[in-house]
Amino acid sequence: MTDNYTVTARKFRPQTFDQIVGQPHIVRTLTNALTKGRIAHAYLFSGTRGVGKTTSARILAKALNCEKGPTPSPCQECGNCKEIAAGQSVDVQEIDGASNTGVDNIRELRENARFTPTKSRYKIYIIDEVHQISKAAFNALLKTLEEPPPHVVFIFATTELSKVPDTILSRCQSFEYRSIGQSDIAAQLSMIAQREGIDVTPGAVELVARRARGSMRDAQTLFDQTAAYGGGKVDEDEVKLILGLVDRGLVLETLSALAEGKPAELIRAVADVTRAGADPTLFAEELAEATRDLLVATVDSTRLAHVEPAERERLVTLASGLEREELVRWFDLLTDTMGQMRFSHNPAMNLEMGLLKIADRRPVTDIDQLLDRVERATAHVERQVEPAVADAARAGVVRGSVPPLSGKKVAVAPATPPVLPKPLAPVAPPVNDDDGSIPEADFEIVETVEKKAPADLVAAFKKEKPFLMGIFDSAELHMAGEAVSITVKNLYDREMLETDRDTLEKIAGRHMGRRTRVVVKLKDSERPPEVVAEVREERQRADADLKGKIVDLPIIQDAIELFDGQVVDVRINRRDQNPS
């Protein structure tokens, strides 16, 4: 009868601190603390899976309860060491946080903690995945953690440190475990293969180590799987077949096709992956990692020491023809594609579409350069639009008069000055009036909602222009940003205010403490219908002329050519929408 088989992860689990791989900072801290007798009452080990948290907890338990201890080098021979290694010590309890989440479980633990250990120096509680304990259970544990019995030591382990309450963290010595380096994993697997008499190629070891993603336990599990398939012999082809990996050369060829914008080769690469029975998701992950290596190569190629020399040379050569912004775009799109693949019934199709999107190379502009271009374009617009505003004013859009009716000239109210376009705005699709209106020029920017003019402004007008007092008594005054709107009931009042409008603007400016514009309007109900119609037609003609001048501006024409667009609308924003 043959002995029961023990998996590699258990058979080669470290039994002493010096056997722990990839965590020198933690090993040094714990051994020094044990040597000097600086033993804490609570420890918290955090990190991803398979990096040695629970193993370290058991070694620490042996170091504390060894009959020759406390010592950083437990003897492994005494009864306590053997019982702890076998998981049979009554004074060292391992608790699964996932299945002991309630308050009652923690209360039972607190009651038992009061009693002294049966045969050891310390009563030790190892709680794995402690973050899964409920909030109420954590609160029940706080008092014991803050003032524990001198014979009790807690050792917590978690893969999600962020879920452990701060009140618990502050009462523990916290140790964060790193992902184990690929070279350390490869060295450990080579040692295991030698002791187990397994013939394994260096390339196969490297593939398993890379696929483990920093987890020693995952690496050992994968190694067992490939060794079982090979019957005691493991090579690269078998590892690729068992683990669903693709040839590294295909990864580099795909990156080259992306750089050269060859969609046909990308489609062929995805087909090769599926034909070989490889996992498309793993292939996407390999591409993302290789893209990261390309980006590193553009910064400092010496940081690619973990990559084989021949592959490193190809990466450096490929990176020399790519911009960092482009590589960042690759990585972002690959990450998005991998997210879609995880929930897709056909991940290969998502991968194919994602690669084709990356291959559709478009020029990438630095955001600072783009902002600088916008600022310069804005200044250019302001310089070029000024003549258009002047022309519009002369044409009667800003203020002026319409042809006389029945041989008599009729004064026309000054309209709000024409407004200026935002850079590139006419090229965009139509938008709502509230958002798409062209802002007014210079100081003539006003609020969209009118409000009643302050009484003291009306008083100021009456004081400095007493002969107009009667007009102001019957007029309606409103504020619209930096404009004062005066609405009168008849043409005579309108004519009188127009005559002194410049003086009224000076009075309003002194009173408001800023440059203020005055607009005089006539109530529609008091205007002759023929005047209203005539003014409306004149305004429409002037608006059409102004729109043509705006569209013909060089900045607008440059935008149309740059974006291959067309002007769909030009809007003139006036506060006084009534013809006057």
Element containing residue 363 per DSSP (H, E): none
Q: What's the CATH code of the domain at 532?
A: 3.30.300.180
d(CA 545, CA 395): 9
User: Which are the contacts of 312, defined by CB distance < 8 A and separation ≥ 6?
Assistant: 301, 304
Q: What is the mean pLDDT of each run of 10 residues along the chain (580 residues)?
A: 74 91 92 92 92 92 90 91 90 86 83 87 91 87 85 92 90 91 90 90 87 89 87 83 81 90 90 86 90 88 76 85 88 91 90 90 62 69 56 46 38 42 42 40 37 78 81 82 82 81 86 84 64 68 78 78 73 50
d(CA 550, CA 556): 8
**Helix, strand or coil for residue 38?**
coil
Other beta carbons within 10 angstroms of residue 513's beta carbon come to 7
Torsion of CA 115, 117, 123, 127, to 10 degrees: -70
Same domain, 153 and 253: no
Question: For the chain, how many structural domains are there in total?
Answer: 4
Q: Is residue 383 part of a domain?
A: yes
Of 157, 176, 195, the one marking the end of a domain is: 176
Element containing residue 366 per DSSP (H, E): none
Q: Is residue 141 part of a domain?
A: yes
Same domain, 164 and 217: no
Same domain, 395 and 467: yes
| Pair 479, 451: CB distance under 8 Å | yes
- The angle formed by the CA atoms of residues 516, 517 and 520, to the nearest 5 degrees, is 140
**Pairing relationship of beta strands 42-46 and 152-158 according to DSSP bridges:** parallel
Q: Is residue 576 part of a domain?
A: no
Q: Is residue 568 part of a domain?
A: no
Burial readout 525-564 (b: 16 or more C-beta within 10 A, e: otherwise): eebeeebeebbeebbeebbebbbebbeebebbeebbeeee
Q: How many residues belong to the chain?
A: 580
Same domain, 65 and 169: yes
Q: What's the CATH code of the domain at 53?
A: 3.40.50.300
Q: Is residue 376 part of a domain?
A: yes
Same domain, 159 and 256: no
Q: Is residue 578 part of a domain?
A: no
pLDDT at 64: 93
Same domain, 304 and 165: no
DSSP character at residue 446: -
Q: Is residue 539 part of a domain?
A: yes
Q: Give the pair of three-digit tokens for residue 232.
A: 């005691």
User: Which are the contacts of 359, defined by CB distance < 8 A and separation ≥ 6?
Assistant: 257, 258, 261, 262, 263, 266
Of 218, 243, 268, the one marking the end of a domain is: 243
Cis peptide upstream of residue 403 (ω within 30 degrees of 0): no
Domain, as residue range, for 399: 371-563
Same domain, 235 and 273: no
Same domain, 467 and 491: yes
Q: Is residue 569 part of a domain?
A: no
Q: Give the pair of three-digit tokens for residue 317.
A: 């050569």
Q: Give the pair of three-digit tokens for residue 411.
A: 């004064």
Same domain, 144 and 23: yes
Same domain, 188 and 76: no
Query: Which candidate, 38, 27, 123, places its Cα nearest to that of 73?
Result: 27
Query: In 212-247, which residue ranges form alpha helices assigned H by DSSP?
Result: 216-230, 236-243
Helices 309-319 and 280-299: crossing angle, nearest 10°?
Answer: 70
**Strand locations in 6-83, DSSP E?**
42-46
d(CA 199, CA 183): 19
Of 176, 193, 226, the one marking the end of a domain is: 176
Same domain, 95 and 235: no
Same domain, 431 and 547: yes
pLDDT at 449: 42
